[in-house]
Chains A and B, each alone.
Chain A
Amino acid sequence: MQPLLAIWNSTIFQKWVMAVTGIVLVGFLAGHLSGNLLIFLGPDHMNAYGVELRELLHGSVIWVTRIGLLLAFVLHVRAGIVLAARNRKSTGVSNSKVTNKTSTIASRTMVYSGLLILFYVIYHLAHFTWGLAHTEYYSYVDSLGRHDVYRMVVESFRNPVIVATYSLAMIVTGLHLNHAISSAFQTLGINNRRINGLIRSAGPIVGIALVLGFLSVPLSVVFGLVK
């Protein structure tokens, strides 16, 4: 048996870490999106959801989720950066002519799209969760005395700079997911000739669907569908 540390640091183990945590993060995005879409049901649903999320089982659910997500995120980022640095060292000098046949812009820029997502996530939390950025939108309270999430979102997306940053971040996320979802299946060894075609086409579709879902909120505010 090999020492556990050697196994943990091996490229394939770290790829597994990245794939498992990546799938957890994709699952989180899906959950987050379903919450966001409540905005289309009006302020009452949205704000009630905000309270429920924070108070479910005396607030234990949200904390367990937060710690789990933080762990997944840290492990994912660490593995991503370590492997990308390793790959850079492995390649050495590049040829004067390089032609790629099957790799894509998305697949070759995963660590950069990832790092952009990382920066965006920190800013995004500062904005909507911690109330540290754009504090002017954070302090609204609705008629029932709840944190007015609905108004915070709508007012925020009336700010064109916020809409632009958010949209850009979503496009970058779409780029990441365009490669990531199908790639995770290959990494986890979920692969055979009958399902490969499906996995490789469904991955990008799921990624784009998530991103379009997220974009629907600011776009609806911009076009006055949500007021």
Chain B
Amino acid sequence: MNLRLHIWRQTGPSDHGMLRAYNVNNVSEHMSFLEMLDVLNEELIEKGEEPVAFDHDCREGICGTCGMVINGRPHGPLSRTTACQLHMRSFKDGDEIYIEPWRATAFPIVRDLVVDRSAFDRVIQRGGFVSVNTGNAQDGNAIPISKIDADVSMDAAACIGCGACVAACPNSSASLFVAAKIGHLVALPQGKAEAATRAMSMVLSMDAEGFGSCTNHYECEAACPKGISADFIAQMNREFMKSVF
């Protein structure tokens, strides 16, 4: 199939950036979206032009590195699918496709479609962990955990930290990300000890990074490639208030 792409090009953080149009021809429907961009980049390199910079790593939907807004949707039109797992069979010959970076003040653009998501790392450093003694790993079943708690924790732990929630949110709020991290740890006995300090410091750090506040639109939940539920945000609201009192 032949496509017309409109891609956000920006040479660096201080550049203004703009959409540029490109044609890519003979795209196979079996290609992934990123492979289609690889094809475009090969052509650009051959012509001596700058290739389009975009983030990617595992290309199997588990690392959270890829991320771009495709026709107004973070990770593209399919639900619960990362950009790397989106295939060209979701498009048809002659389609125009708009490809833009995550937009948020807290995610400054590095170049083209690449944004700096280190704000997420800093939020994690403020509490997205449990403190344990290092040394030998302890016995696997030393701490009994109910199936229900384990499942809830896993549902939250499915977050790959890609930032699609921020990109989808009309307020660029990181609530779903932070709530998933809090929800993942607080469901488990190991995470309960630091529950209060974690909720408090992660929330204050998400504010300090300049993310917006949640206004309960639930766009994040709809865009999340891992289907993390906004119920975790309600839980974060509870955990935060518990940590205040």
Contacts and interface: CB of A to CB of B under 8 A. Distances in A.
A binds B: yes
Interface of A: 2, 6-7, 10-16, 83, 86-87, 89-104, 107-108, 110, 179, 182-183, 186-193, 196
A16 B173 CA distance: 16
A92 B172 contact: yes
Closest 10 CB pairs of A and B: A189-B238, A90-B212, A191-B234, A103-B217, A97-B72, A11-B213, A87-B171, A99-B72, A87-B212, A101-B222
Contacts of A100: 170, 217, 219
A165 to B, nearest CB: 28
A6 B201 CA distance: 11
B170 A108 contact: yes
B81 interface: no
Interface string B51-82: 00000000000000000010111000000000
22 contacts: A7-B244, A10-B203, A11-B203, A12-B237, A12-B240, A12-B241, A14-B213, A86-B213, A87-B212, A91-B104, A91-B170, A92-B104, A95-B69, A95-B100, A96-B98, A97-B71, A97-B72, A103-B219, A186-B234, A191-B231, A191-B235, A193-B231
A217 to B, nearest CB: 31
A179 B234 CA distance: 16
Contact of A15 (B98, B213, B231): B213
B106 interface: yes
B207 A10 contact: yes
Contacts, number: 135
B83 interface: no
B87 interface: no
Interface string B146-187: 000000000000000000000000111100000000000000
Interface size class of B (residues with CB under 8 A): 35 or more
Contacts of B230: 186
B126 to A, nearest CB: 11
A183 B214 CA distance: 10
A182 B216 CA distance: 9
B234 A16 contact: no
B112 interface: no
B216 A107 contact: yes
A11 B234 contact: no
B19 A96 contact: yes
Contacts of B222: 101-102
A91 B234 contact: no
A92 B105 contact: yes
Most B CB contacts (10 A, CB to CB) among A95, A182, A188 go to A95
B219 A90 contact: no
B210 A90 contact: yes
B213 A87 contact: yes
B209 to A, nearest CB: 9
B212 A91 contact: yes
B105 A89 contact: yes
Contact of B72 (A16, A90, A98, A191): A98
A46 B171 CA distance: 45
A13 B103 CA distance: 25
Contacts of B69: 95, 97
Given A14-B213, A87-B212, A89-B210, A96 B237 contact: no
